Structure 1
Amino acid sequence: MRRFRLAVMVSAAFVTIAAASGCSDGGDGGGSSYSTPPSTAPSNATAVPRAVVKTASAGSLDTILVDGQGRTLYLFEADKSTTSTCNGACATAWPPLLTSGTPSAGGSAKSGQAGTSKRSDGTTQVTYHGHPLYRYAGDSKPGDTNGQGLNQFGAEWYVLDAGGNKVDKS
């Protein structure tokens, strides 16, 4: 029964991602085009020696946190401490920002807010203002914010501002 539930959860995650991936206005009216994420953990889930948390402008969301490659970072509202609750299929859809060293800050991100936390698999995840940080597999390029406000894996996902607070402009 547990394997069946896990298979259903994994399938639901991929269906959700695939559905989001097919959304495109096809024109240049400000819409983004998406590609289907890989069926295994994205390569961006690999730990980097020194992860960077910096800021970038994201249109109507104003200035938000991004990683060293400019990819949007998110918080998961189910995380009530610096310890991640997103594992398995969740971590495939929402790859944690991992590091093997001390994270640094750039732009208007505050270096004193960047930290780390051990994940259940033993890897080290970057945190900011007490929130474990994630990317979204449905974001295909820097600047995409397709995960903003999604309710997946039991809670909502939001981009963060430079202070480490969720950005909710709904």
Structure 2
Amino acid sequence: MELALSGRRRRTQMSMQDGAAVRWASAALRALALLGTATVVAACGSGGTTDDGTGAGDGGGDTSSVTVAVRTQDHPDLGKILVDVSGKTLYFAEQEEDGTVRCVDACLRFWFPAKIPDGAAPSVPGVTELDVLHRADNGQEQLTYQGKPLYTFQLDSSAGDADGNNLQDDFGGVHFVWHAVTVDGEGTPTPSPTPGNDGGYGDGPGGY
């Protein structure tokens, strides 16, 4: 009887020891798992910091994405010209070189005042003397270069066209001579002979 009881006690003690060992092993595994999770979280946190730094760097250089009202473009015949945000060639009229707006009413059906998009800056690297004026006829702002009001031309069908260069026309009793705006002295425009009125636009002998 004592042997039987002694055997049961030994088995009970061994079971208790085995259970303690299992519990210790389980606790150790949980600790390792938590340590591994902490390591992963730390690694992710480190990666997030790097991404934030990159994002901040990108944000710091965001000035390059600021919309500008004009830019320069190389033209095969005229050299470097000014174009608007859509690539349309910008022009000025000799008769407005003093900054006085004379292209009004019917003239505006063919020559569109260069406007500044919302939030845009009237500037372009390497080009000075860009500004804006307030038109007295409609109160709108118009881009100017060296004080001359700038326009795009209705008959320029594609970006980069310069069909209005050296063109002459008449509106409201005013004879206009138009030139594409060059910014580096190349292809300096000169007035072309006045074309006859062939039924095109304009209300005088200089109609196109």
Question: Shorter-chain TM-score category?
Answer: 0.5 to 0.7
The number of residues matched between the two structures is 119
- Cα deviations by residue, 1:42-77 (Å, 9 ceiling, x for unpaired): xxxxxxxx7612110111111111111111000011
Bigger Rg, structure 1 or 2? 2
Using a 3 Å threshold, how does the CA distance of structure 1 residues 144 and 126 change in structure 2: closer, same or farther? same
Q: Which amino acid aligns with 1:82?
A: G
Q: Report which stretch shifted further, 139-148 or 77-86.
A: 77-86
Query: What's 1:157 paired with?
Result: 178
The match for 2:149 among 132, 137, 142 is: 132
Show the 5 A alignment for 1:111-150: 113-119=129-135, 120-150=137-167
Q: Aligned to 2:81, what secondary structure does the other structure show? A: strand
- Unmatched runs of 5 consecutive residues or more in structure 1: 1-49
Contact 2:80 2:186 in 1 (8 A): no
Q: TM-score, normalised by structure 2?
A: 0.51
Large movers: runs of 4+ above 4 Å: 163-166
Give 1:89 shift.
Answer: 1.1
The match for 1:78 among 85, 95, 110 is: 95
Q: Distance in 2 between matches of 1:70 and 1:151?
A: 23
| Larger helix percent | 2
Contact 2:82 2:182 in 1 (8 A): yes
Q: Distance in 2 between matches of 1:85 and 1:165?
A: 27
Task: Kindly indicate whether structure 1 or structure 2 has the higher relative contact order, using CA contacts under 8 Å at least 6 residues apart.
Answer: 1
Q: Distance in 2 between matches of 1:103 and 1:75?
A: 20
Contact 1:53 1:109 in 2 (8 A): no
Query: What's 1:26 paired with?
Result: none
Q: TM-score, normalised by structure 1?
A: 0.62
**What value does the CA root-mean-square deviation take over the aligned residues?**
2.5
